Structure 1
Amino acid sequence: MKRDNPPVGHAEKVRSVALSRSAAAQSSLAASWARSMKTYGLEPDTPGNADARLEQTELHQRRDGLGRILATSAPVMDRLYASLGLAGCSVFLSDTEGVVIDHRMADSDGALFRAAGLCEGGVWSEAVQGTNGIGTCIAEQRAVTIYRDQHFHDRNTVMSCMGAPVFDEHGGIAAVLDVSSCRDDLTQPFAALIAQTVTDAARQIEADHFQSAFASRRILRGSGDGQKGAVLLAVDGDDLVVGATRAARAIYGLGHDNRIDPRPAGDLFGDSEQRGVGLESAERRELRRAIARANGNMAAAARALGISRATLYRRMDQLGLSRD
């Protein structure tokens, strides 16, 4: 597969749009082109940092820093490549600085991608490469599709790149999953279908990573799951929410920093009024749980609660719990 020449007039078009006073406010693509020129001082037709690539030692350090994300993403990347590899697509995973730390690609595509610098160790932040599927995804923290001549640098217009953010267990961006193709017969409608597949795969990595991070907790799935990401809540033994995905934090107002204040799961799901929030209600629930765990064996339930069986019966009578 030979590398295409850049579109005629591409650099001039990028400059014209990037320097326009109004274009950036009307288009996210124009805003990215403007950042590439005005903020990072890049030019669309100069080599710049096209060959920016990390040494193996630093690359290994970055891979170690993303240990759990790397492990949970591997099977998802395998499935994604199995679905799209025959269509001439390659799969990449980058860290939050745009450094490619893992990939899946066919040998026949390797030379072309390596020539473009899209390979393990390659740096694809906007500051280095301008508008692209990985760097722009990081800058805007949303899924993006950069189709061929939408790239900032004319040297990258041979590619179509579909990137989606992967958020960690605290709701912060941790990585970018990207599918790129150098095929000139990849149409924009097909690229849009691939982009949705990439977004779904990124959400799967996020969900798998969250469940791995809170493996010792009970995981609840909230309302709206799958619409804007995995809506997952981690609940401790006291039914307090101690962790939430990015989408869950937005839906339930849990904030976006690394730490959340524990909240009763019943309050978030709107059933606190039905279940009650007083001490008696809490004690009733604990007694019922202990009895259920003991399969109705009152002596075993009392031992688990650290009280006598007589005390258990007395509290049950006071709280209106049937001895049956």
Structure 2
Amino acid sequence: MPDIPIALTGISGVSIASMDDRRSSHSANHAEKVAEIVASRSAAARSPVAASWVRSFHKYGLEPDAPGRTGRLSQSEVGLHREAIGRLFHVSQAVMDQLHASLGLAGCSVILCDADGIVLDQRLRAGDQQDFETAGLARGADWSEKRQGTNGIGTAIAEGRPVHVLRDQHYHTRNTSMICLGAPVFGETGKLAAVLDVSSCRGDLDAAFVALIAQTVEQAAMRIEAENFCRSFNQARIVQGTAEGQQGPVLLAVNGDDLVIGATRSARLHYWLDDAALISPRPAMDILGDQERRGMGLESAERRELRRALARANGNVSAAARLLGISRATLYRRMEKLGLLPES
């Protein structure tokens, strides 16, 4: 007598055999869809997801239905990757705790990866751990695009922007049950240093809630970036610029001589700053475009310095003169010349 397969029934009453058939069918359909998009000459230009699928296939040689996962780094190896991003890792801890406190009950995991896509840290509920372990989202795992194809972490790294990859938008069929919402975090030198990601293995998150999570992740990533920048230039004055359309914090670090010595990535993009411009610092007023103070020469500089001294001395001319190292009479003469004496 031939063997008769035994149908094992789950809680829903659907046999595990039929569930496996559905998964197999879904995997085949997804792989076919990816193959169709990859073969198209125009799809990559019309869709960021399609462009990532094309990279995954042509650049990295990945197959959408390939089985298995890559191994994880050891605890000591993860420690080396954490050390490499230094201060930013420590800055991220409180933000990750707050994110998980808000989203953990919804079955979401909060993940921090470095610019190589290595999972450095994670927040999740104990009851959800097995789901994420099965999905391969755990400390030490490599979620770069070259290893996993299109996903919220690796594609955010590849494109340097926030990325939302929802279920079937993933490249690999094995990842299509997940939602991955990643946002890049740029370091104090303007280079991509990490990705903050919130992922879910649950299928009951509606579109409105996913959109809210995505916005929250992007704001949290900007908080990490801004705090890391401020700590990196803790001896400098931090000036916030205004730039419409920039997704990250627009911050400048200004030294005691009013020269710009640091800038966030968004500030670099908006003010056309690069490493060379910061190695040879320029006055903050030139970069910020302060027309009232810009291009007025030594007289303008002297007027500003006298005003500062008077402000520090609360308007006391004798005290201001002592701060400047000049006589009271000299200060009065300079104030009269520069139009700083109060009208009688």
Same fold (TM over 0.5): yes
Distance 1:195 1:202, change over 3 A: same
| Runs of at least 5 residues in structure 1 that lack an aligned partner in the other structure | none
Looking at both structures, which has the greater relative contact order when contacts are Cα pairs under 8 Å and sequence separation is at least 6? 1
Query: Aligned-pair distance for 1:223?
Result: 1.6
Q: Which moved more, 1:25-34 or 1:271-280?
A: 271-280
In the alignment, residue 159 of structure 1 is paired with which amino acid?
M
Distance 1:229 1:217, change over 3 A: same
| Runs of at least 5 residues in structure 2 that lack an aligned partner in the other structure | 1-10
CA contact 1:53–1:123 (8 Å) conserved in 2:
yes
Task: Report how many residues are paired.
Answer: 323
Q: Say whether 1:14 aligns with 2:34.
A: yes
Once residues 29 and 73 of structure 1 are traced to their aligned partners in structure 2, the CA distance between those partners, rounded to angstroms, is 28
CA contact 1:246–1:256 (8 Å) conserved in 2:
no
Residue 39 of structure 1 aligns with which residue? Answer: 59
Distance 1:257 1:109, change over 3 A: farther
In the alignment, residue 10 of structure 1 is paired with which amino acid?
H
1:221-276 residue CA offsets vs partner (Å, 9 max, x unmatched): 22247852212222222222222222222222224779464333333443334566
Once residues 276 and 173 of structure 1 are traced to their aligned partners in structure 2, the CA distance between those partners, rounded to angstroms, is 35
CA RMSD of aligned residues (A): 2.4
Specify the SS of the correspondent of 2:56. helix
CA contact 2:321–2:331 (8 Å) conserved in 1:
yes
Query: Aligned-pair distance for 1:202?
Result: 0.7
Once residues 176 and 257 of structure 1 are traced to their aligned partners in structure 2, the CA distance between those partners, rounded to angstroms, is 26
Taking only the aligned residue pairs, the percentage that are identical comes to 60
The counterpart of 1:56, out of the listed 72, 75, 78, is 75
Q: Say whether 1:81 aligns with 2:118.
A: no
Matches within 5 A, 1:28-177: 28-47=48-67, 50-177=69-196
Distance 1:97 1:246, change over 3 A: same
In the alignment, residue 179 of structure 1 is paired with which amino acid?
V
The counterpart of 1:314, out of the listed 330, 333, 338, is 333
1:190-247 residue CA offsets vs partner (Å, 9 max, x unmatched): 3222111111111111111111111111112222478522122222222222222222
Instruction: Using structure 2 for the length normalisation, give the TM-score.
Output: 0.86
Once residues 217 and 84 of structure 1 are traced to their aligned partners in structure 2, the CA distance between those partners, rounded to angstroms, is 35
CA contact 1:91–1:178 (8 Å) conserved in 2:
yes
Q: Which moved more, 1:37-46 or 1:246-255?
A: 246-255
Specify the SS of the correspondent of 2:110. strand
Q: Which moved more, 1:309-318 or 1:71-80?
A: 309-318
Once residues 252 and 31 of structure 2 are traced to their aligned partners in structure 1, the CA distance between those partners, rounded to angstroms, is 47
Q: Which moved more, 1:22-31 or 1:119-128?
A: 22-31
Once residues 245 and 237 of structure 2 are traced to their aligned partners in structure 1, the CA distance between those partners, rounded to angstroms, is 19
Matches within 5 A, 1:162-201: 162-201=181-220
Query: Aligned-pair distance for 1:114?
Result: 1.6
